[in-house]
Chain A
Amino acid sequence: GDSVTQMEGPVTLSEEAFLTINCTYTATGYPSLFWYVQYPGEGLQLLLKATKADDKGSNKGFEATYRKETTSFHLEKGSVQVSDSAVYFCALATGGYQKVTFGIGTKLQVIP
């Protein structure tokens, strides 16, 4: 079946550091790929998405590129802020009902 692999963390960075969170996937067909973010006490919200190979999703300084050859969708940001502290979920969607498979989530803590 479909699966998404990402490290659980926590990842601790200093403010203005470069962020990479790795995500690899296994899926049949051609999935859409997503990054969701969860702030404390809240539900998940969409951060960015990509729907086909070589697409780059971007939002709020974050970006990720859909790499079909390596089945990856790594999240990057050039300079993190304290306000970026959250849990980040990589996810894929296949099928007519948008059945979504999530990774385990990576907790990011940014310290001043």
Chain B
Amino acid sequence: DAGITQSPRHKVTETGTPVTLRCHQTENHRYMYWYRQDPGHGLRLIHYSYGVKDTDKGEVSDGYSVSRSKTEDFLLTLESATSSQTSVYFCATTGGYDNSPLHFGNGTRLTVT
């Protein structure tokens, strides 16, 4: 596939602590996305990037920030984790040409206690 690696795969953290999730891709795709997956909600877009240092908010961006200093890396930070941020987080990429599909990583399961 598109060679997307998410780290860590699993994390348990306490309320109020900062957490950073990493997405690394080897396909030189321009566009990268962070989604969260929750029962009854499907996938919801948190933030996305359309180039190095170019990012924008998705529909559920409150409490999250992102950074993209290199084409291959897209970081998602929970500034002060809350229990409502317990979820499975997916990174996705696409080359961005017309109708190109998303390629997904295998997800990070985050539990905030």
Complex Cα distance A49/B94, Å?
Answer: 15
Measured CB to CB, the closest approach of chain A to B21, in angstroms, equals: 14
Instruction: Tell me how many residues of A have a C-beta within 8 Å of chain B.
Output: 22
Interface string of A71-107 (1 = CB under 8 A from B): 0000000000000000001000100011110111100
Within the complex, which residue of A36, A45, A98 is in contact with B1, where a contact is CB–CB below 8 Å? A45
Complex Cα distance A93/B1, Å?
Answer: 20
**A8 at the B interface (CB under 8 A):** yes
Measured CB to CB, the closest approach of chain A to B94, in angstroms, equals: 5
User: What is the interface of chain A mostly: helix, strand, loop, or mixed?
Assistant: strand
Complex Cα distance A19/B78, Å?
Answer: 40
Complex Cα distance A104/B43, Å?
Answer: 7
Please tell me if the beta carbons of B99 and A97 are within 8 angstroms of each other in the complex.
no
**A29 at the B interface (CB under 8 A):** no
Complex Cα distance A1/B100, Å?
Answer: 21
Could you pull out 7 A-B pairs where Cβ atoms are within 8 angstroms?
A8-B40, A32-B99, A43-B104, A97-B48, A98-B96, A100-B102, A102-B35
A residues bordering B, Cβ < 8 Å?
A: 8, 32, 34, 36, 41-46, 49, 51, 89, 93, 97-100, 102-105
